[in-house]
Structures are given as structure tokens and as C-alpha cells.
Structure 1
Amino acid sequence: MNQVLQELQPRLANIFNHLHQHPEVSWQEHNTTQYIANLLREANMEPHLFEDMTGLYVDIGKGTPKVGFRTDIDALWQEVNGVFQANHSCGHDGHMTMAIGTALLLKDMEHLLSGAVRILFQPAEEKAQGAHAFVEKGIIDDLKYLFGVHVRPLKELQDGTYAPALYHGAAKLFTGTIIGEETHGARPELGINVIEVGAAIVEGLQKIWTDPNISASVKMTQFNAGGTSTNIIPGKATFSIDARAQTNEVMEVITEGMERVKASVEAMYGAKIFLQVDAHIVAAIVNDEALQHMRAAITDVVGEKACAPPVVTPGGEDFHFYTYERPKLKATMLGLGCGVTPGLHHPQMTFNQDRLLIGVNIITRAILRAL
């Protein structure tokens, strides 16, 4: 396997460069999907694409796949050097490269596999929608194990170290509208000032109490009200709220607290508040058996000293939606310590690409152990 890996290295470097230079945002990954599909076809694999969405998957080996590996394929939309554009600043270009490398490696040893493996190339991770779409299509229904990977910043993992699990937190992104009553600035008693309503919501959010031993936060991140006239009390506003919690249970407490805040502020001001969840990212549900397979694979490849403890991180990942919806699925994510700097989602994010080949080796061995 090591010889095949070394032969793969220059090819994977070219694949990474192409993916890095051709990013596409969530649900628009059309060229990315076709590029990956063509690579797999060239290697005598039969990728499965969808008529109604981007993304794909491929099965390697005989029988019904029981072990899977998932990568995300979308990029962020952000300002880079003064220009808004699609940008791979979350490492999905590296994740795709490792998934393709794993598929090529498994295909080379297909005659030795004791079962089938499914590689999932999932769209729209950044919108927290892609995993849900794959679950709806039944793509993971037959799987017993599912592995993933994510590059990690130096703050969490030193370059050249690898973690067998990533404990991401939960996140909910809300948008809302406040309907008050517009009136003249000289007669505030005749109106309902939505700015004051918004301030009451902010104050209410600060009174949502959760377990102090578990990291959590809830805060308003956007608020828009009023026009260009300063003598009009505005009667309509829109806002956004970002909620984070390290566990799904604490996120439920926050959600219930927000409903109480909404009801009490409506009653206090006589306003109408409409609130909806735009994105829900669940906290990690890591299976110990899958974690042990990943830890053993890391030790096999790089030794015990380079095997770091599982990482607890406040960031979110929609990979965990698979286990949230399918609790019997045994899953974990590999944390790839590759010197991500200045940090994830930074427009100039870079990392040590030499670690991608090691990632392929670890992922492949974890899959073989699960088989």
C-alpha cells in the first residue's frame, strides 16, 4: 500500500491544485461534481450522480456497502483581496483530495477487500443542508460505519499530529422579523418602536441560563430597521441570531429559552415577532468503536506520539447530522493536524499539503479495520 501511496502523491498534488483553483459555493458545485466523476470513471469506477442536485457517491468492492467515508465539496463565498468570490478557506479542497486518494487506493486493492465501501462527495456543508439531503436520499441507510475528516488549525492540533475524533458543537442560525407600528418621532406613544423591541430581545437572550460547565452562547448578529429619516419611529425590523452549544441538549435549552423571550417581548410591547431557523447544525455524536478504529489507524501510520487526544471545538460540522438522524450509525471524524494558518475561514487560509497523503493512509486503514 505504501508504494501505491507514493505513486499517488504527485497526482493528488495536481488534483488539489485544480480543486483549490476552481471553488464553487453550496449547491453550485456543478463543475466540481463533474470533475470528480470523470476522475473516478478514468479509474474504472462507476460514480452515481443526481438529476436534482450536485454531489455524488461511488461504491468500491462487492456487495452492499457497510463502511463509508464522506467529504464535503463546497466553498465559502467571501471577500478575498477586496473581491467577493468563492474560496476554499475551510479545507474542503483538501478533504476532496483525500477522498479521491482513498477511492483510488481502495480501487487498487479492490480484490483484497472483504466488503464494499461507499465514498460520499457531499454538497452544501457550509449551508448545513447537504447531509440532510443525502439522508433524505437514503445514501447512508445500509452503512454501519461512516468516517470523515477535517483539517485543523494550529490552535487545536500541532502540524503532524492527528486526532481520532472531533467533538464539534451545535449551532442554530435564526432570522426574524419584528412588526411594530410606525409613527412620528414626536409622538412615540402612538407607535411601537421596533428598535426598542429588538433591544428587549437582546436583553432577554442574556437571561437564558444554561449549564455553566458546558460551553454555550446566544447573541444577535444582525439588526436592520428604519430608513433615511431620523424623525420616524420605525415599525419594521429584521434581525439574525447565532446560537452555539457544545451539546445538543444545551441547544434545546437555548431554543426553548428563545421561545420564552419571544413570547414575553411580544406581550410587553404588543409587537409581532416572527422567528425561523435557517440552519441547524447538531453537535457531534461520536461512536467509541469507530473512534478506536481511527485511533488504531493513526497509530499504525504515524505512531502513538503523533496520535493526539480527541479535539473539542466550538465550530460546527453538518457531518454529525448523519448520526443525529441515524443513531445506530457508528461514526467519527479524523482531525488532520496540518498547520492551518491564520485559521479556518480566513480568506488567506493555508495548510501543509504534505499531510494529505498521510490522511489518505489513515482513512484507508480505518476503513479496512471497520470492514
Structure 2
Amino acid sequence: MRHIVEELVEKLNEVFEHLHANPELSWKEEKTTVYIKHLVEEYGVEVKTFPDCTGLIAEIGNGKPVVAVRADMDALSQEVDGVIQANHSCGHDAHMTIAVGVLFTLLKLKLSKGTVRFIFQPAEETGNGSLKMIEKQVVNDVDYLYGVHLRPIQELKGGQAAPAIIHGAGLFIEGKIIGEDTHGARPHLGVNAIEVGATIVELLKGIYLDPQVPYSVKVTKFHSGGQNANIIPGSAMFSLDMRAQSNNALQQLHSKVKHKINAVKSMYDVNIILRTIDYVPAAEIDKQAQAFMKEAIIQVLGKDNTVDPIVTSGGDDFHYYTIKHPNIKATMLGLGANLKPGLHHPKMTFDRKAILTGIEILTHALINTLNLPESHK
């Protein structure tokens, strides 16, 4: 198989360079959708797009089992050299290239049984792109689902890979303290929203869950007051970032946070409104899918470079697919690429040879899952 992937290097470099140079934000991946659509249609691949959202489905083969590969498409909005812009600092350009490479490789191998569906999914960074694909029923008949994500060098070195990424759950909330401004000389006539916010920060530090399960909650944004220093602000906006390694722990954390916020409301006799911005579930990894992926990693990198599943506090909306469809057997490949200084860093870099490695591993995983004849392996 390696010789097939090597024959594709020039084309894959072209694909990556284009995707990397043309990042698009969540739900705005119009040009990316068109580019991938035209790219795979040139090879006679059936493609489905959607009239009300970005993203696409490419499919080869027929019949059962149906095995899907998901690649996220969107870039981040962040400051790069002083300019706020779309930037592929999470590796989604690499993930799309890997999916394209797997598709091209399978076309050369010629499937003898089963269907492989490539889900080019929008809006992973906003945490709800997978829900849109689920709404489009793209995984209703899927038996196995595989994803891939480059890992920072702190987790995996180049030439290493893990058969699963055990992401934690994340809940992101926006809060609003509602009150009226008062004169700085008459603080007794109102409530200082900044003091309310400070109390929230302190009370959140007093939340305790099972210490065996990692969790955290923190205030990540607080805006209050205007230009005048002699006005006590009565209103403020803030945001909360809650994370836990399991879905159950996150539910417990959320409940305790709401209890603390209600205590602050009573303490200051002030109205505080909370609104959920986003939620990302923790990973639900299937042992059989993980076993197929582990076998594939060993086939490509050997046992010494096959690492145990990675536990990470980061999140990924990939896991919505199995939350909403528990019958799907899924796992995500953790791919070492000497990625540094870290994911979401504006100057993130990685060894592009990892793209070829990822293609080989995912292709082997698909073949293992489809149980193709030995001559195709």
C-alpha cells in the first residue's frame, strides 16, 4: 500500500497547500466545499452537498458494512502577526488531506465489498457541525466511524500514533448580570457588578467533584463598565468554561455551578441570566473499532510506536455521532506529527510526512474493518 500512497505525494501536497492557504471559518467553508467536491468528482466519485449548509459527503463502494471517515473542515479565527484572520492552527487542513488521500488510495485498491463514506464536516470548532450532519442523516446506516486528529508533541512524537483519543466533555456558558449604574459617591444605591463577578469567581473555586475524574470551571471573559471612572457599573457580561473527563462529571459540575450562581443572586439580590453557548460531549470509544485502529497502526508503524489511547481535556464534536447513534462503533486516530508549539497556536507547525502516515493507517483500518481479502492488504 505504501507505494500507492507515495505515488500520490505530489497531488496530496497540492491539496494540502491549497487548503492551508485558503482557510475558512465555521459555517463559511463554501470555497473549501466546492474545491473538495470538484477534486473528488474528477475521479468519478459520487458526491452529495447540502443546500442550507457547507460540507459534503463522498462515497465509494456499495453494500454493508458501511464505514465512514470524518474530516473536519473549518479554521479558527485568531490573531496572526497582529491581524485577526482565519487560520488552520488545529490541523483541519491536514485532516481533509488525509481523508482525500485515503479515498484516492482505496480507489486504486478497488473495494470488493462494503461502502466507505467520507464525511467532510463543517464547523467542528463551534462544536455543532456534527449535529448538522446527523440532522442530514449521513450516519443513519453507518456501522463504523473513524476520525483523525494531529496531536501536539507533548502527547505524541512524530512516528507515533494512538488508536483512540479520549476527549473530555466541555460546556460553555454566557452569563449576564443585570442591574443599574450608580454614582461612585453613592455605592449604597446599587450593586457593583464587578463585585458580583468577583464573588462568582471565588465561589467557583469551592466546587468539588470526585478527584479521580479531572474537571475544571473558570471565568474566561468579564466585561463591565464604561469610560467614566466615577460610575459603578450595575451590569456585566461574562463567560464560563466548564470541562470534565466524563459526561456524568460534567453534568454534576454544571449543577453545582448553577447552585453557586443562584447563591450569588440571593446574596446580592441581583438578576443573573445564563445561556448555554456550546456543549461538546466526552468520548465514547468502541473497543472493536479501537482494536481495528490499533492493528492498523502496528501494520504501519510497528508495536514500539503504537501508543495507548490518549486522555486529553480537549473536546471534539466527533463524539456527537456516537452519542446520538449508540449503535455506531467509533474511534479517532491520534496522529503524532512533531506538532509544536501546540494546537490553536497561531504559528503551529507539524511534520507533513505525518499526512502520509495517517493515510496509510486509516486505509489499513478501513481494510481491517471491511475484512477485505488478504491480497488487498
Normalised to the residue count of structure 2, the TM-score between the two structures is 0.96
Correspondence 1:77-116 to 2 at 5 A: 77-110=77-110, 112-116=111-115
Aligned partner of 2:35 in structure 1 is: 35
Q: In the TM superposition, what whole-angstrom CA distance separates every residue of 1:151-170 from its partner, at most 9, and x where no partner exists?
A: 01110001101100001111
Aligned partner of 1:265 in structure 2 is: 264
Q: Do 1:166 and 1:335's aligned partners in 2 also have CA atoms closer than 8 Å?
A: yes
Q: In the TM superposition, what whole-angstrom CA distance separates every residue of 1:3-50 from its partner, at most 9, and x where no partner exists?
A: 321211111111111111111111111000000000110010111001
Aligned partner of 2:361 in structure 1 is: 362
Aligned partner of 1:59 in structure 2 is: 59
Q: Secondary structure at the match of 2:138?
A: coil
Aligned partner of 1:167 in structure 2 is: 166
1:232 and 1:226 map into 2 onto residues whose CA distance is 8
Correspondence 1:342-357 to 2 at 5 A: 342-357=341-356
Aligned partner of 1:76 in structure 2 is: 76
Q: Secondary structure at the match of 1:54?
A: strand
2:89 and 2:182 map into 1 onto residues whose CA distance is 46
Letter in 2 for 1:366: A
Q: Do 2:160 and 2:306's aligned partners in 1 also have CA atoms closer than 8 Å?
A: yes
Q: Secondary structure at the match of 2:102?
A: helix
- Indicate yes or no: 2:306 matched with 1:298: no
2:47 and 2:109 map into 1 onto residues whose CA distance is 18
Aligned partner of 2:230 in structure 1 is: 231
Q: CA deviation at 1:308?
A: 1.0
2:57 and 2:260 map into 1 onto residues whose CA distance is 43
Structure 2: gaps of 5 or more residues: 371-377
Is the deviation greater in 87-96 or in 207-216?
207-216
Normalised to the residue count of structure 1, the TM-score between the two structures is 0.97
1:338 and 1:363 map into 2 onto residues whose CA distance is 15
2:316 and 2:3 map into 1 onto residues whose CA distance is 33
1:202 and 1:2 map into 2 onto residues whose CA distance is 54
Is the deviation greater in 197-206 or in 147-156?
197-206
Aligned partner of 1:13 in structure 2 is: 13
Is the deviation greater in 328-337 or in 190-199?
190-199
Aligned partner of 2:310 in structure 1 is: 311
Correspondence 1:172-191 to 2 at 5 A: 172-191=171-190
Letter in 2 for 1:184: H
Q: Secondary structure at the match of 1:44?
A: coil
Q: Secondary structure at the match of 2:54?
A: coil
Correspondence 1:194-213 to 2 at 5 A: 194-213=193-212
2:4 and 2:212 map into 1 onto residues whose CA distance is 47
Letter in 2 for 1:66: V
Q: CA deviation at 1:172?
A: 1.1
Letter in 2 for 1:31: K
Q: CA deviation at 1:77?
A: 0.8
Q: CA deviation at 1:64?
A: 5.8
Aligned partner of 1:4 in structure 2 is: 4
Q: Do 1:168 and 1:314's aligned partners in 2 also have CA atoms closer than 8 Å?
A: yes
1:271 and 1:86 map into 2 onto residues whose CA distance is 39
Aligned partner of 2:373 in structure 1 is: none
Aligned partner of 1:328 in structure 2 is: 327
Letter in 1 for 2:141: D
Is the deviation greater in 182-191 or in 53-62?
182-191
Q: Do 2:64 and 2:113's aligned partners in 1 also have CA atoms closer than 8 Å?
A: no
Q: Do 1:195 and 1:225's aligned partners in 2 also have CA atoms closer than 8 Å?
A: yes
Q: In the TM superposition, what whole-angstrom CA distance separates every residue of 1:52-78 from its partner, at most 9, and x where no partner exists?
A: 000001111013662101000010111
Q: Do 1:68 and 1:147's aligned partners in 2 also have CA atoms closer than 8 Å?
A: yes
Q: In the TM superposition, what whole-angstrom CA distance separates every residue of 1:296-346 from its partner, at most 9, and x where no partner exists?
A: 011111211111111111111111111122222111000110100111111
1:245 and 1:222 map into 2 onto residues whose CA distance is 20
Q: In the TM superposition, what whole-angstrom CA distance separates every residue of 1:181-230 from its partner, at most 9, and x where no partner exists?
A: 32222222221221111112112211211111111110101111111122
Q: Do 1:64 and 1:142's aligned partners in 2 also have CA atoms closer than 8 Å?
A: no
Aligned partner of 2:132 in structure 1 is: 133
Number of equivalences: 370
1:69 and 1:109 map into 2 onto residues whose CA distance is 17
Q: Do 1:59 and 1:65's aligned partners in 2 also have CA atoms closer than 8 Å?
A: no
Aligned partner of 1:119 in structure 2 is: 118
Q: Secondary structure at the match of 2:211?
A: coil
Letter in 2 for 1:172: L
1:23 and 1:348 map into 2 onto residues whose CA distance is 14
Q: Secondary structure at the match of 2:236?
A: strand
Q: Secondary structure at the match of 1:309?
A: coil
Q: In the TM superposition, what whole-angstrom CA distance separates every residue of 1:210-255 from its partner, at most 9, and x where no partner exists?
A: 1111111101011111111222221111001111111111111111
Q: Do 2:225 and 2:232's aligned partners in 1 also have CA atoms closer than 8 Å?
A: yes
1:317 and 1:302 map into 2 onto residues whose CA distance is 25
2:248 and 2:355 map into 1 onto residues whose CA distance is 35
1:316 and 1:267 map into 2 onto residues whose CA distance is 34
**Percent of aligned positions with the same letter in both sequences?**
48
